[in-house]
Structure formats: C-alpha cells, structure tokens
Structure 1
C-alpha cells in the first residue's frame, strides 16, 4: 500500500456480528453490582440480602459467568477458566 494516503487504503471493517464475538471465550471483565440487580443477570440466583456489593464476571459479550462476593473471587474464577480480564472505563 505504498504511496496511498490513509483515506485511499481499504481497511476491512468488522460486521456488527463479528464485533460482538470479538474475544469470545478468551476475554472477560468484572463489574460491580448491587445485590438488588442480581436477578436481572442471574435469574436462577437465590434471594440475596439487599444492599450488598457483589462482583459479576462477564464474558466479552456481556454474558454472565459467575457472581462473587469479592473482586478477588471473580478474578480467580477468570484465571481458573483461562480468561484474560480487561479493565473497562
């Protein structure tokens, strides 16, 4: 692509479906949540005392993986499943 400007280069774009699956099975993130919000992500979860801060491990596409009472617990689960955790800002 020598001699072409950036606007002349054709850069392949990801389709929305390809982008949604980027990192599947390899990347995860931890999200802090209130116990009152648990049922939305984890409908099968038992009743949890309101007012608690919990830590959800989520796949790259937002799929819930595990719920933990500490961030360390969620990160340990990611490590056990050989998932690379990333920080979201």
Structure 2
C-alpha cells in the first residue's frame, strides 16, 4: 500500500507506543510494577515520554482520550 500520510497535518498529534522492560526502569517506578515484566510507554514526536501504563490497549486508549493518534514502535 503506497498511501502517503501527512505527518504535519494540523490537529494531528502523533504519539508512539512501545513496550519497556520493567527491569530497565528506575527503582521507584519498579516498586509500583506489581510484578509485571513489561509496561508500555507513550512518547511524543520529540521522544519525550508522556506516560507509562500497564498494557498496550490502555496506552492506545489514553492517547485517543487526549486527541492523539497512537502508533506502535517496534
């Protein structure tokens, strides 16, 4: 599929969702992980982390509730 996407479209706020190993997080964050091995981070287009959440579905829901367009980062 060769459909062009205008990443600079007004009002379109793209955010990136990626899995993060809990072991790679700071101690104070790991204390609240409740035994999870992975959480999901939501980042803006500049790479700034906006949120950490328990699962991918929650990350996408959070982004959409804030009028953002989530995409998965591999």
TM-score of the aligned structures, taking structure 1 as reference length:
0.57
Q: How far apart in 2 are the matches of 1:30 and 1:70?
A: 10
Residue 63 of structure 2: aligned partner: 78
Residue 31, structure 1, aligned to residue 18, structure 2: yes
| More contact order relative to length (CA 8 Å, sep ≥ 6) | 2
Q: How big is the shift at 1:67?
A: 0.7
- Which of 38, 41, 56 is the equivalent residue of 2:41? 56
| Consecutive unaligned residues in structure 2, runs of 5 or more | 1-7
Change (3 A) 1:51 1:78: closer
| Consecutive unaligned residues in structure 1, runs of 5 or more | 1-21
**Bigger proportion of residues as strand:** 2
Max Rg structure:
1
Tell whether the 8 Å contact from 2:23 to 2:30 is kept in structure 1 after alignment: no
